[in-house]
Amino acid sequence: MSGEKISVGFLGLGIMGEACARNLLKSGLFSAVHVWNRSPDKASALVSEGALLGSSPADVVSKCSITFAMLGDPDAALQVVFGENGVLQAISAGKGYIDMSTVDEQTSQRIHAAITSKGGRFLEAPVSGSKKPAIDGQLIILAAGDESLYKEAEPAFTKMGKKWMHLGETGAGARMKLVVNMAMGTMLNALSEAMALSDKAGLKQQDVLDVMGIGALASPLVAMKGPAMMSKNYAPAFPLKHQQKDMRLALALGDQLGQSLPVAAAANEQFKVARARGHGDEDIAAVYEATKP
Amino acid sequence: MMTQRTQTSSCTLRYKQRFVTSCRPLVTLSSAAPGKTTLGFVGMGILGVPMTLNLLKAGYEVVVYNRNIQKTDPVVAAGAQVATTPRECAQRAQYIFATLSDPQAAISVANGPDGIASGISAGKGYIDISTVDAETSNIIATAIKSTGASFLEAPVSGSKAPAEQGKLIFLTAGDEELFKAVEGPLDVMGKAKYYLGGVGSGANMKLVVNMLNGSMMAALAEAMALADKSGLSQADLLEVLSLGAMANPMFALKGPAVVERSYPPAFPLKHQQKDLRLALALGDSLGQPLPVAAAANEAYKMAKAKGQANSDMAAVYEATQH
């Protein structure tokens, strides 16, 4: 068993990326953790904790065996790979690139094709879970793609997640993430409508949450977002605009496959209403505002 | 756990209501206890049978009524007696419970010929566990209370298995004296009971909870359909859901049924759709748009049209299949 530590890279230090990179850094499993973010000031905390700041994605990839990425949307994910001084400039045989961003399948396949054409190995690995699970290393990692890279990345996954699964060929992870987030978006709207109706009917919303909390519908989602809706506390754990992006992508996948999804479509409309009212950067719980006139 | 809502008199209302309960002096109702109190139970269905069996096991005398007498066999075998009409049930028992399938049946049993109202009297109580709209509940309440008897609406959250295990959640409203008097039987049948105020509050709470239930199941059904269509394993999806923020007992129970496409009824789909219909009507009357619940209701209607009315509500999955 090789005792050699490898160096790993992390591109994208937003809400999720910073928390994940920190867990890799704290683990002591790697010889170095190289980080990069489009606005470098986001990296200062990690650098003070021992991370090494790269000048570009290519710079990071050139110094690492495996490079992780966590960007906010498909455009950013593509830019990091294909842009100037991007990942593609430095990827080479044996190097691994693991994209943990939530993107549509086409974006993931484009990245896969580009990485492998240069001899690199690619794993898509979107996650389920938001800020707190990321900080606590309790994410669910939905991986697909290169199996050898998946195995090599497992030590890193143990530090970032409570569960990791290999779901098949590239594309399967992206699809699973969209399906899961579509379910969440619809469920959140179901909760939102229940809160709105109970309020209008003169019931105490706390009573409603208490009843839900002990019954068959009790879930962490209801326990977290119900009180947030009740007190209108929308500090972002997961920005509403990203959730709506995921619903849009899931509906597009359904469209592509000929799967009608009327309830998710109705939920998506409510997210659009909330965005139009200026709640895009707030937490997904702010979709509750769409139930008001 | 009990939430107490005190009414200052039987004539005052704390929640928005369209009807006033009749102002009668309150009769002191004796606390129900095994060996002391005869209970009645109308409606030997998916919930009524296990609830009655639990009451019998706890040592209560129970007189039952069901339209189709054959459905009383399992409880008779456990010691229940049979009445030939709801009226007779109300004459022979002090506190009568009922689990009927819809507002029409509930009104018929309570107010119809040889109904509960024709046999009940002061010192007795009628506890309607049926899930109905607030207007129906008020109609029943008025008829019952005009006889001098007390009334409690008491819809439950929970279906077949919780009923069998005595783990239902009662969402009651109406006469608080009656709520207190039947605490014993409620604790035998359930794990929690709430007193929510004037008649209508329990009905509305139940509709809110069941609307959430229906929409959540529709969300799961669409996710399972998209997973399948996109080449993912539905079992993998259920595992991912079970590990994250969305994990809930209902998904754990219904998910495998969808994978198998086998839907033995714990909660018949037609009743879930009825509840969504009532919840949407409530929203309509209060000026609350409910677009996601409305879309879910359409999915249940589609599943009914595909012959799934008597299957478990998980069969809403069939609406996703074209």
pLDDT in tens, A163-201: 999 999 999 999 999 999 999 999 999 999 999 999 999
Report the distance separating Cα A272 and Cα A260, nearest Å.
19
Reduced to 3 states (helix: H, G, I; strand: E, B; else coil), residue B14 is coil
**Which has more confidence, A102 or A173?**
A173
Q: What is the DSSP string of B229-260?
A: HTT--HHHHHHHHHHSTT--HHHHHHHHHHHH
- Which neighbouring-strand residues pair with A163? A140
Lookup result for tokens 């704290």: A26
What pLDDT, on the 0 to 100 scale, is given for residue B322? 86
Task: Name the band, by pLDDT with cuts 50, 70 and 90, for residue B27.
Answer: low
Residue A293 has pLDDT above 80, yes or no: yes
| Interface ipTM above 0.85 | yes
What pLDDT, on the 0 to 100 scale, is given for residue A2? 55
- Which neighbouring-strand residues pair with B125? B95, B150
What pLDDT, on the 0 to 100 scale, is given for residue A4? 83
Task: Name the band, by pLDDT with cuts 50, 70 and 90, for residue A130.
Answer: confident
Q: What is the DSSP string of B120-151?
A: --TT-EEEE-S---HHHHHHHHHHHHTTT-EE
Across the range A69-87, mean pLDDT stands at 96
- % of chain A with per-residue pLDDT over 90: 94
Considering only CB atoms, which chain A residues are within 8 Å of B154? none
**A165 and B232 in contact by Cβ < 8 A?**
no
What pLDDT, on the 0 to 100 scale, is given for residue B24? 52
Residue B16 has pLDDT above 70, yes or no: no
Residue B2 has pLDDT above 70, yes or no: no
Report the distance separating Cα A44 and Cα B140, nearest Å.
68
Task: Name the band, by pLDDT with cuts 50, 70 and 90, for residue B63.
Answer: very high
**A165 and B209 in contact by Cβ < 8 A?**
no
**Pick from A176, A189, A200: CB nearest B292:** A189
CATH 3.40.50.720 region(s) of chain B? 5-199
Respond yes or no: is residue A241 known to be catalytic: no
Smallest Cα–Cα separation from B153: which of B134, B177, B181, B180?
A: B134
pLDDT in tens, B101-145: 999 999 999 999 999 999 999 999 999 999 999 999 999 999 999
* Region B204-320: CATH code: 1.10.1040.10
What pLDDT, on the 0 to 100 scale, is given for residue B286? 97
What pLDDT, on the 0 to 100 scale, is given for residue B28? 82
Pairing between β-strand B150-153 and β-strand B125-128 as defined by DSSP bridges = parallel
CB proximity under 8 Å: A 217-236 to B: 217-222, 224
CB proximity under 8 Å: A 92-131 to B: 128-130
Quick one: which H or E segment has residue B161? helix B160-165
**A187 and B219 in contact by Cβ < 8 A?**
yes
CATH 1.10.1040.10 region(s) of chain B? 204-320
Residue B22 has pLDDT above 70, yes or no: no
Smallest Cα–Cα separation from B154: which of B177, B181, B122, B186?
A: B186
Report the distance separating Cα A94 and Cα A6, nearest Å.
13
- What angle (nearest 5°) sits at the alpha carbon of residue A236, between those of residues A234 and A240? 85
- Which neighbouring-strand residues pair with A10? A35, A68
Burial (CB count <10 Å: 0-12, 13-18, 19+), residue B233:
middle
**B298 and A261 in contact by Cβ < 8 A?**
no
| Average pLDDT over chain B, rounded to an integer | 92
Task: Name the band, by pLDDT with cuts 50, 70 and 90, for residue B178.
Answer: very high
Instruction: Suggest the residue from B4, B230, B302 to mutate for an interface test with chain A (most A CBs closer than 10 A).
Output: B230
Considering only CB atoms, which chain B residues are within 8 Å of A140? 240, 243-244
**B232 and A216 in contact by Cβ < 8 A?**
no
Across the range A94-112, mean pLDDT stands at 95
Residue B230 has pLDDT above 90, yes or no: yes
Report the distance separating Cα B182 and Cα B29, nearest Å.
9
- Which neighbouring-strand residues pair with A141? A127, A164
Burial (CB count <10 Å: 0-12, 13-18, 19+), residue B253:
middle
Distance from the B278 Cα atom to the nearest Cα atom in chain A, whole angstroms: 12
Across the range B179-193, mean pLDDT stands at 98
Instruction: Suggest the residue from B4, B199, B212 to mutate for an interface test with chain A (most A CBs closer than 10 A).
Output: B212
pLDDT in tens, B66-103: 999 999 999 999 999 999 999 999 999 999 999 999 99
Distance from the A184 Cα atom to the nearest Cα atom in chain B, whole angstroms: 7
pLDDT in tens, B188-221: 999 999 999 999 999 999 999 999 999 999 999 9
* B5-199: CATH architecture: 3-Layer(aba) Sandwich (3.40)
Smallest Cα–Cα separation from A279: which of A248, A247, A233?
A: A233
Q: What is the DSSP string of chain A?
A: ---PPPEEEEE--SHHHHHHHHHHHHH--SSEEEEE-SSGGGGHHHHHTT-EE-SSHHHHHHH-SEEEE--SSHHHHHHHHHSTT-HHHH--TT-EEEE-S---HHHHHHHHHHHHHTT-EEEE--EE--HHHHHHT-EEEEEEE-HHHHHHHHHHHHHHEEEEEE-SSTTHHHHHHHHHHHHHHHHHHHHHHHHHHHHHTT--HHHHHHHHHHSTT--HHHHHHHHHHHHT----SSBHHHHHHHHHHHHHHHHHHT---HHHHHHHHHHHHHHHTT-TTSBGGGGGGGG--
What pLDDT, on the 0 to 100 scale, is given for residue B13? 40
Instruction: Suggest the residue from A179, A259, A284 to mutate for an interface test with chain B (most B CBs closer than 10 A).
Output: A179
What pLDDT, on the 0 to 100 scale, is given for residue A1? 45
- CB pairs < 8 Å spanning A and B: 222
What pLDDT, on the 0 to 100 scale, is given for residue A3? 65
Alpha helices of B19-77 — where are they, by DSSP H?
48-57, 73-77
A64 inside 8 A of chain B by CB:
no
- What angle (nearest 5°) sits at the alpha carbon of residue B20, between those of residues B15 and B22? 130
pLDDT in tens, B244-290: 999 999 999 999 999 999 999 999 999 999 999 999 999 999 999 99
Quick one: which H or E segment has residue B169? strand B168-174
Smallest Cα–Cα separation from A112: which of A58, A174, A51?
A: A174
Using the Cα atoms of residue A174, residue A176, residue A182 and residue A188 in order, give the sign of their dihedral. negative
Q: Specify whether the CB–CB gap between B71 and B64 falls below 8 A.
A: no
Smallest Cα–Cα separation from B141: which of B182, B105, B107, B94?
A: B107
- For residue B142, what are its two tokens? 């008025």
- From the list B124, B145, B206, B274, the catalytic residue is B206
DSSP B302: H
**What is the 3-state composition of chain B as percent helix, strand, coil, each rounded to the nearest 5?**
50, 15, 35
Lookup result for tokens 């296990």: B50
Domains delineated in chain A: 7-169 (3.40.50.720), 175-291 (1.10.1040.10)
Q: What are the phi and psi torsion angles at B26 (to 5°)?
A: -75, 135
A136 inside 8 A of chain B by CB:
no
Report the distance separating Cα A111 and Cα A124, nearest Å.
9
Task: Name the band, by pLDDT with cuts 50, 70 and 90, for residue A73.
Answer: confident
Report the distance separating Cα B10 and Cα B173, nearest Å.
12
DSSP B265: -
Report the distance separating Cα A177 and Cα A142, nearest Å.
7
Q: What are the phi and psi torsion angles at B42 (to 5°)?
A: -110, 130
pLDDT in tens, B308-320: 999 999 999 999 9
Smallest Cα–Cα separation from B96: which of B113, B79, B117?
A: B117
**A221 and B218 in contact by Cβ < 8 A?**
no
Q: Specify whether the CB–CB gap between B273 and B300 falls below 8 A.
A: yes
